[in-house]
Amino acid sequence: MANSPQQMSGFVLALLGLALAFLAAMMPQWRVSAHIGANLVRSESAWEGLWGACVARTSGESECQAYGSMLGLPREMQAARGLTALGLGLGLLAVAIAPIGMQCTRCAAKQPQAKATLSLGSGLTLALAGLAIAGPPSWTATTIIMQFHDPNRPDEMKRDLGDALFVAWSAAALLLVGGVILSLASRSPAGLHGKFASPPPSPYPQDH
């Protein structure tokens, strides 16, 4: 069980990353009002997320409303939703399979090669989930920055980077690191010994 600590570390990181990914997907603060120019002092701020938009007032009250028809949303928003859902699905699948392939569990204990294959598969799936989760916040941030520096765009239409983007990036990083660790620790001890063990002695005498 030499790889058990590494596998457990990767699995814990993946669980944390998946939890943060769900949190980022639900948070409305993907795009927030930019307080610049005429908007420097305002009694309310606008938040835009994947599933709805909110208006937060300085009094502490907030009102949120879900978006209407998905087909009426911009293509960028539809793609962000799809990739986020894909990343969450891959992450759930990977964390469900990973315990079976870990050496510290008794599942398929007599089949070390099968456990190693499952561990490798879950690690690669987690890495793919991390890449899928990293996509939407990355291009959302790029769009926000481009529009922020557009001199022809009114100040009230400009947005700033929301907290959800940083949560999503953290989730993607944890999923990627956890997946890499699981993948590197997936080689079974039996496979290693079989690969590097010395060949059996020949039954026939050798001439000197």
Cα angle value 28/87/176 (rounded, 5°): 105
In contact, 204 and 156? CB cutoff 8 Å: no
Looking up tokens 């190693």 gives 116
pLDDT at 60: 72
pTM of the model: 0.80
Look at residue 83 in the predicted model and tell me its pLDDT: 95
CB 50 within 8 Å of CB 84: yes
The first and second tokens of residue 204, run together, are: 């026939």
Cα–Cα distances (Å) from 71 to 29, 58, 121, in that order, read 22, 33, 34
Query: 13 φ, ψ to 5°?
Result: -60, -40
Residue 123 has pLDDT above 70, yes or no: yes
Residue 140 banded pLDDT, cuts 50, 70, 90: very high
Span 4-31+74-195: which CATH code?
1.20.140.150
Over 80: is that where the pLDDT of 103 sits? Answer: no
Residue 132 has pLDDT above 90, yes or no: yes
| Of 80, 110, 94, nearest in space to 183 by CA | 94
Which of 63-77, 107-121, 167-181 shows the lowest mean pLDDT across its residues? 107-121
Residue 205 pLDDT class (50, 70, 90 cuts): low
User: For the chain, first and last CA: distance in Å?
Assistant: 42
Q: What is the mean pLDDT of residues 55-60?
A: 77
